[in-house]
Amino acid sequence: MSRPSAPHLFGVRHLSPAAAWHLRRLLDRVKPKLVLIEGSDDADELIPHIVSPRSKPPIAFLAYTTDAPVRTFAYPLANYSPEYQALLWCREHRVQARFMDLPASVFLGLMDRDDGAAVVDIEPPPTPEKAREQPTLAQKLSGRDGDAEEVQPDTPPPPGRNSLYERVAELAGEPDYETYWERHFEQLDADGQYEEAARTYGAELRALEDFSTPRAAENLVREAYMRRKIRQAVADGFPPEQIVVVTGAFHAPVLNLEQPAMTDEELARLRRRPAKITLMPYSFFKLSSQSGYGAGNHAPAYFELAWNARHAGRTPQLPTLFLTQATRELRASGTFRSTAEVIEAVRLAETMAAMRHSQPTLRELRDAAVTLLGQGDPAVVREALLRVEIGTAIGSLAQGVSQTSIQEDFHRELDRLKLEPFKTPVKRDLELDLRENRRVKSTEAAFLDLHRSGFLHRLEVLEVPFARKQAVRQDGANWAERWALQWTPEAEIAVVEAVLLGETLELAVAFRLKQRLEACTSIADAARIIRQACECGLPGSMELARQTLQRLASDSSDFPALAAAARELSLVLRFGDLRQIDPEPLKPLLEQLFLEAALALGSASTCDAAAARPVLEGVNDLNRVALDHTGLIDEALWLTELQKLAAADHLNPLLSGHACAVLLERGLISNDELAREVSRRLSPGIPADLGAGWFEGLSQRNRYALLTRLVLWEQLAGYVASLDDDQFKRALVFLRRAFGEFSPAEKHGIAENLGEIWGVHPEQVGEALGVELNETEKEKLAELSDFNFEDL
């Protein structure tokens, strides 16, 4: 009896150049009428866009839930993906292509499972008899040969997938699984050779699988569904022998017409989430294992090079192509290597590979590059190898292809704000001047940078990692902003996920700020939202945040939070006009916050050392507000509270010293008053944590003024000399923190002051500081570096 016809099953490893090349050759031989491809079947409508000449891999289709909690998954395609090449072949030959895996709604539903149970009860199909004709990987790994008895039900489960792949590599004598795959699969050339190897490999992997795990249960569900799609294709009139099925090598052995397919009842029981699917550009970095994508490959630029070489019939020249590109990268970075060194590197790689009876793998090429091009130093070639192994390529799609409304809004804004050139995988800096440009004619052009700023701040609120704000070079330039822009697939995903918050960026940001305000319990957070709403150009959100802050402020006595809130409002008041937002409604609220914070300073200063740090920052914030808004707030009250704190002996000494520094900086303490206070605070008999702690607070501000007051250093030197050993060790904690933040020039000034006190000429001090340490001094310094001062 003749065997019934069956579809052609082609097992692949996703993102395998060899699989893609051999698949195209199979398609040329079989000339199918239908190609079924592993991938969510609701992505069929994306196929015309995937294979469009205007689409440039790497790309991916991204599935996402349309309600919370947000779930997403991406299915990436590179130029050398077997699935992508199958789709291209179908377009070129006018053959129908379909995806055949679970719908995205089911995949996303499976992500919600937290009980570890299978979604439906599906038994694993038996391993085909053909896979048992020869000793399998399972038998080899367990030390058994092909004649040994079968594994009994009580046999311990096989190892996990990662350790399994590592053991496969170890059995083959390879250092890692990637090298194993490349040597044993990527280098196969003869027709049918890859096909047979992948078929056997997939069957042997299944023999090692533990089908009791949730991951394995999900695979069984997927396979039952894919068999259903194959049967459906046959029912649609496609003869089985005219169907090619492209799937992972692990699944291929059981995707046949003899095995049971998923029933209507089983399909109905699958958990689902409302979902949508879209296309997005992807990147080589995202494909690389460095970015955590498990089904990617560790060197996408290298495999793209391998694909191009194989496609052009230049596979034997791959080592030369790779090492030549690495040399170009080295030369571009200023490290010259000769052609002779490249030739020697190729020979070394080929010699090492010949010992394994193969062509060079990436492993041998990398070792040869380090040895010859890096002259034994991996650091020399690390950057160059990253560029030729991983690369910086990022895909692209035609404008408007399968985008959500918020993606469309995002790209409209990019175009309007002339930011399209910054949408690259290479980081670029953008300097903004928020002031009106009076040299241009249109209003849009005059405020281009201001609108750019609002756009980038909106992305920041939505946590879209496209732009990161940097420190500006001009201190106090409230009109200047500096951003670092870099496009990544993660940024694209974040934009897509933001559609759950609103149809446009403006609506999504407003909704996100509203969510944060509803959960807000801190006045500092509420004030921060006011500032962010101002930066985003959202006056409605500013008003909501103002109302929230007003409500929270009436019940707050937390000094650091009050001071931080006042500081945030101060920034909005100073920059509001620049951002074309009326800040007037915030003035009464700032006045209230400032008053409450000033009155709370005394009670907040009754604290230990750990709690003193936030209070100290609050003092700085509130003092800045007082300087910026003299006519609005009660500055006299603030200065009175500072003077009380500076004179107090019962409050935290760090804060008392810092209050003294603020008053000194404002010119409200004379030299004589400072001398008396220093004498009182640093007199013999004062405990170290009080005296040295006070000095630490004093040294936090206006160090130049301190350096010019010799009386301060005379008193400090005398005080330190008066301490006994235990008190001196205690004082070291505070003095080390105080002087640790001084610049080298400031420390040199201190040394000259002490030299003058001790009768040493300043030039002698400079010479003494410049003398190289002897071995004994170096040992003492090393001991101090390792010493934990906090244990004192």
Strand order across the beta sheet in which 467-470 lies: 428-433, 480-485, 467-470
The DSSP-derived string for 241-269 is GGEEEEEETTTGGG-STTSPPPPHHHHHH
**Alpha-carbon torsion, ordered 363, 369, 375, 376, to 10 deg:** -10
Q: For every residue of 118-166, which 3-state class applies, written as one string?
A: CCCCCCCCCCCHHHHCCCCHHHHHCCCCCCCCCCCCCCCCCCCHHHHHH
Write out the two tokens for 174.
Answer: 């390879």
Q: Which residue has the tokens 């902003």?
A: 481
> Does residue 431 form part of some domain?
yes
* Together in a domain, 229 and 372: no
* Together in a domain, 370 and 411: no
Q: Which of 344, 279, 358 is nearest to 315 (CA)?
A: 358
The pLDDT of residue 147: 36
* Together in a domain, 572 and 709: no
Strands 275-281 vs 467-470: parallel, antiparallel or unpaired? unpaired
* Together in a domain, 85 and 225: yes
Q: For every residue of 425-484, which 3-state class applies, written as one string?
A: CCCEEEEEECCCCCCCCCHHHHCHHHHHHHHHHHHHHCCCCCEEEECCCCCCCCCEEEEE
Q: Which of 46, 41, 42, 37 is nearest to 19 (CA)?
A: 37
> Does residue 1 form part of some domain?
no
For residue 389, how many other CB atoms are within 10 A of its CB?
24
Please list the residues that pair with 483 across neighbouring strands. Answer: 430, 469
> Does residue 766 form part of some domain?
yes
* Together in a domain, 457 and 533: no
The pLDDT of residue 692: 75
> Does residue 259 form part of some domain?
yes
pTM of the predicted model as reported, rounded to 2 decimal places: 0.68
* Together in a domain, 380 and 421: no
CA-to-CA separations, 65 to 110, 272, 441, 583, 751, in angstroms, rounded:
12, 10, 45, 39, 65
* Together in a domain, 583 and 543: yes
Rounded Cα gap, residues 635 and 721, in angstroms: 40
Rounded Cα gap, residues 107 and 271, in angstroms: 9
- Name the domain boundary from 621, 646, 662: 621
- The residue range of the domain holding 93 is 8-300
* Together in a domain, 227 and 250: yes
> Does residue 270 form part of some domain?
yes
* Together in a domain, 354 and 489: no
Residue-wise over 586-625: b if at least 16 C-beta within 10 A, else e?
Answer: beebbbbbbbbbbbbbeebbebeeeebebbbebbebbbeb
Q: How many domains does the chain have?
A: 5
Task: Please give the average pLDDT of every successive group of 10 residues along the chain, which has 792 residues.
Answer: 74 94 97 97 94 92 81 89 98 97 94 53 54 41 36 36 71 88 93 92 86 86 96 97 96 93 94 89 80 68 96 92 96 93 96 94 96 95 94 82 81 94 91 90 90 96 94 74 90 83 91 94 94 94 94 89 94 85 90 94 91 93 93 93 93 92 88 79 74 80 72 75 79 71 76 77 66 69 53 48
- Name the domain boundary from 433, 467, 498: 498
> Does residue 368 form part of some domain?
yes
Question: Is 336 strand, coil or helix?
Answer: coil
For the chain, how far is it from start to end, CA to CA, in angstroms? Answer: 91
> Does residue 505 form part of some domain?
no
* Together in a domain, 209 and 88: yes
- Check residue 4 and give left, alpha or beta (phi > 0: left; psi -120 to 50: alpha): beta
* Together in a domain, 212 and 348: no
Q: Which of 580, 625, 578 is nearest to 481 (CA)?
A: 578
